[in-house]
Amino acid sequence: MEQNRIYFFDTTLRDGEQTPGVALQTPEKVEIAKGLVRLGIDVIEAGFPAASSGDFEAVQTIAREVKGATICGLARANEKDVQKVAEALADAERSRLHVFIATSEIHMKYKLKMTREEVLAKVKSILEFAKGKFDEIEFSGEDASRTDLDFLCEVFGVAIAGGATILNVPDTVGYMMPREFVDKIRYIREHTPGIEKAIISVHCHDDLGLANANSLAAIEAGARQVECTVNGLGERAGNVGIEEVVMALKTRHDYFGDLQVHIDTKQFTKVSKLVSRLTGVVVPPNKAIIGSNAFAHESGIHQHGMLNNPETYEIMTPESVGAEKTNIVLGKHSGRHAFDDHLKSLGFHTFTEEKINDLFMKFKALADRKKQVYDDDIIALVVDNIHHKKAFELVAQYYKLGEKGYAYADVRLMTPDGERADAAVGDGPVDASLKAVERVVGLPISLKDYQIRAITAGKDALGEATLKVEYNGRLYHGRGISTDIVKSSVNAYINAVNSVFLAMELEQQEEE
Ligand code: KIV
Ligand code: ZN
């Protein structure tokens, strides 16, 4: 480990996947992991193998197919979990176990029902069990920021003696104030036995909007690994967004001094869009670095200043994060080679010839409907066609507007029981079409949130529908794209329904 380097540990595929409503399938996770490698991430936390067979399969596939970063799996401090991680990571180029146990009084008393002595003994025994099974071991004290500091140092000391070389301090509930976090990290550095053999990591949640401030404060106090997610996804208010930490370190290198960051910041916009499209979680326009307004200057005074000297209002350039203005890239006369080259320039390197041919046909159909095809259109097309299991697929749809805003719609879907069609009347064509789909699916699924937006410029832009549905108390995201917004909406709804079915299938497998 280089002392002046900040290592980035990405948990988009684990903590990020705990975002309510997000359920990624293995091919989608592999695509994200490859994007993370292009970004230059040091460690990818690919999942929690003991959580479900789906998680195990995803971690194993990433370990086999994704090279160029350490692949990590999460485990609770029990042998079954650790064994699952070892099996899932068997083929990784470099493997890391991330093992955790809660250390705060409130978690030990009410969740674990364990004493301090029992927790210490557990840490010792689980590290003995894990020894030799991985290239490296990271240990986390869950809720560390609310843990008695001397006890935390004692636990960390036991973990280091057992072979852990990365000690993670999660601010699990996003409770820290930056100054307070600095003091804690310094205390841990000064009072943990053997800490010179390890590096300190931080994992900050954003419940009070302080995840980036706390991560940067910890770096100032000597932490050398930061755990983060793309777009700040994660439990509740999310984890710190990698783009925020990195751009703060780069933009203010005058302040942070000689710290090395090996991240290709020009990839931020692409990776952000990939993750947003695949998860269905839309990035707010005003989000730092990756929001669509992050480099937009609205007021006349600002625009005037920018024209005279961009540095008047711009502390970093859009180019530095890959957010330059979208160019028209391809049209209906573009050939297969140009399309293939373009896919590669967007980072999609690993499609088979068959897949490229299939995507090319879809691109041609799109270019017939839309004169100018932009990068974003192509990313949307690819993401929409990353293979995943679909219980339902739209075969045909039809709608007709009636009087007073009512509409009639019918849909035909491919279902697990063959083709089925149904019809409904609703308040406008989207409402009627979604009701018709609901009738075919036959489950009490309720729509919770629905948004539609144009992906690129122009009257013929692709419309992206994103929505959330609730089933059995859980939220599921869905997204769909088309130049016809009713079709985008129907596809988004079917996409969410497919996630409901996938979750039901996984639950059933777990029970068997
Ligand atoms: O927030 C948290 O404490 C976690 C741990 C598993 C590191 O995600
Ligand atoms: Zn977390």
DSSP for 425-438 reads: EEESHHHHHHHHHH
Instruction: List CB contacts of 351: < 8 A, sequence separation 6 or more.
Output: 343, 359
Q: Is 328 exposed, middle or buried (0-12, 13-18, 19+ CB in 10 A)?
A: middle
CB of residue 146 inside a 6 A radius of ligand 1: no
512 pLDDT more than 70: no
CA of residue 41 to ligand 2 center, whole Å: 18
Q: Are 89 and 64 in contact (CB under 8 A)?
A: no
Q: Where in the chain is the domain with CATH 3.20.20.70?
A: 10-279
**What is the reported pTM?**
0.84
Residue for token pair 């088979």: 352
Half-sphere CA count of 94, side-chain side, radius 13 A:
9
Q: How far apart are CA 311 and CA 64, in angstroms?
A: 45
Q: For residue 75, give the ligand nearest its CA.
A: 1
Residue for token pair 């046909």: 361
CA torsion 153→158→162→165, rounded to 10°? Answer: 0
Q: What Cα–Cα distance (Å) separates residue 69 from each residue in 40, 45, 58, 61, 322?
A: 8, 10, 16, 14, 22
CA of residue 202 to ligand 2 center, whole Å: 10
CA of residue 242 to ligand 1 center, whole Å: 16
CA of residue 478 to ligand 2 center, whole Å: 24
What's the distance, CA 166 to chain centroid? 23
φ, ψ of residue 442 in degrees (nearest 5): 70, 25
327 pLDDT more than 60: no
CATH code linked to domain 10-279 = 3.20.20.70
Q: How far apart are CA 121 and CA 117, in angstroms?
A: 6
Q: How far apart are CA 214 and CA 373, in angstroms?
A: 41
Confidence of residue 82 (pLDDT cuts 50, 70, 90): very high
Q: Where in the chain is the domain with CATH 3.30.160.270?
A: 393-511
Q: Which of 449, 483, 477 is nearest to 463 (CA)?
A: 483
Confidence of residue 183 (pLDDT cuts 50, 70, 90): very high
Q: What is the largest CA-CA distance in the chain?
A: 77
Check residue 460 and give its pLDDT. 72
Convert 279-307 to b/e letters by CB count within 10 Å (16 or more is b): bbbbbeeebebbbeebbebeeeeeeebee
**Bridge partners (DSSP) listed for residue 229:** 241
List the Cα angle 121/122/125 in 5-degree steps: 85
Higher pLDDT, 98 or 468: 98
**Which one-letter DSSP state was computed for residue 377?**
H
Instruction: List CB contacts of 262: < 8 A, sequence separation 6 or more.
Output: 5, 40, 42
Q: How far apart are CA 34 and CA 78, in angstroms?
A: 30
CB of residue 15 inside a 6 A radius of ligand 1: yes
In 205-313, the DSSP E strands lie at: 225-228
Distance in Å from the first CA to the final CA of the chain: 44
92 pLDDT more than 70: yes
CB of residue 206 inside a 6 A radius of ligand 1: no
CATH code linked to domain 393-511 = 3.30.160.270
Check residue 348 and give its pLDDT. 78
Check residue 365 and give its pLDDT. 86
CA of residue 56 to ligand 1 center, whole Å: 19
CB of residue 81 inside a 6 A radius of ligand 1: no
H, E, C per residue of 447-484: EEEEEEEECCCCCCCCEEEEEEEEECCEEEEEEEEECC
CB of residue 139 inside a 6 A radius of ligand 1: no
Residue pLDDT, tens place only, 349-403: 778 888 899 899 988 888 887 767 877 788 778 877 775 668 899 999 999 998 7
Q: Provide the token pair at 505.
A: 């299938």
Q: For residue 99, give the ligand nearest its CA.
A: 1
Q: How far apart are CA 388 and CA 495, in angstroms?
A: 10
Higher pLDDT, 64 or 473: 64
CB of residue 100 inside a 6 A radius of ligand 1: yes
Q: Are 382 and 355 in contact (CB under 8 A)?
A: no
Residue pLDDT, tens place only, 408-462: 999 999 999 999 999 999 999 999 999 999 999 999 999 988 988 887 767 777 8
Element (H, E) at 34: helix 26-39
List the Cα angle 28/412/472 in 5-degree steps: 55
Q: Which of 217, 218, 209 is nearest to 237 (CA)?
A: 209
Q: For residue 167, give the ligand nearest its CA.
A: 1
Closest-CA residue, ligand 1 atom 3, reads 172
CB of residue 54 inside a 6 A radius of ligand 1: no
Binding-site positions read 15, 203, 205, 239
Q: How far apart are CA 512 and CA 509, in angstroms?
A: 5
Residue pLDDT, tens place only, 184-215: 999 999 999 999 999 999 999 999 999 999 99
Confidence of residue 109 (pLDDT cuts 50, 70, 90): very high
346 pLDDT more than 60: yes
Q: Which of 424, 415, 334, 432 is nearest to 374 (CA)?
A: 334
Q: Are 42 and 9 in contact (CB under 8 A)?
A: yes
CA of residue 169 to ligand 2 center, whole Å: 10
Size (the chain), residues:
512
In what order do the strands lie in the sheet containing 393-401?
Answer: 393-401, 406-415, 418-427
CB of residue 140 inside a 6 A radius of ligand 1: yes
Q: What Cα–Cα distance (Å) separates residue 268 from each residue in 4, 35, 289, 348?
A: 23, 10, 8, 15
Element (H, E) at 139: strand 136-142
